[in-house]
Chain A
């Protein structure tokens, strides 16, 4: 069964902390994505990756970085967390070998920065 997992469902951090959000997929997918979801704004793409060690900026990359050292793992890093980064973070993966390119999503991490 297809699976994308995220390291935490809920996370509370303090302003200025370095935060790591981890995402792992077991489908051998090439593409991985990080989104943030805010009420009324839908899903906005932060970063994505097509291959190991490759990354592309999405629509709102400011304040975030990513790391993809292994195919199955894609990490989102908040270098210095701020209160405006309080949000739901969703990870997804997909593959060009699957004709629809549908994205499979993890359960999400609800991050609160205080």
Chain B
């Protein structure tokens, strides 16, 4: 079974609008972390935001916020006031704390976001 599911292969948003990229996860580990990465067409992976499973508040980093709904096992990325430079592939990822796989991340298949003027 997939540990991370991103159901939107592609999303389109107009500049200055907000957009939500969906991510659901599957784990039985009570302690885990969720990450979002951005990959522009140049190929580098850029870390955007992190949410820990015990964090009480949703994470925010500038225009990025993470809508964390633990009971629904979802960790959606919200980008406010979209910019043309936000056009990229976005990956959701999860790290589980338990077991011998400390440090490895499970990635979703990604969502290609296109921002149009």
Contact = CB atoms under 8 A, between A and B. Distances in A.
B47 to A, nearest CB: 5
Question: B-side binding surface: helix, strand, loop or mixed?
Answer: loop
A15 interface: no
Interface stretch (B12-20, B60-68, B71-79, B100-108): B100-108
Most chain-B Cβ atoms within 10 A of its Cβ — which of A43, A88, A90, A104?
A: A43
Interface residues on B, range: 20 to 34
A50 interface: yes
Contact of A101 (B37, B44, B45, B95): B95
Contacts, number: 55
Contacts of A94: 103
A102 interface: yes
A108 B44 contact: yes
Question: A-side binding surface: helix, strand, loop or mixed?
Answer: strand
Interface residues on A, range: 20 to 34
Contacts of A74: none
A107 interface: yes
A43 B91 contact: yes
B9 A40 contact: yes
B108 A42 contact: yes
A37 B50 CA distance: 22
Given A90-B45, A107-B44, A108-B44, A101 B103 contact: yes
A102 B103 contact: no
20 contacts: A31-B102, A41-B109, A42-B91, A42-B108, A42-B110, A43-B91, A44-B107, A45-B105, A48-B103, A48-B104, A92-B45, A96-B103, A100-B35, A101-B103, A102-B35, A102-B47, A102-B50, A105-B44, A105-B45, A107-B44
Interface of A: 31, 33, 35, 40-45, 48, 50, 56, 58, 88, 90, 92, 94, 96, 100-105, 107-108, 110
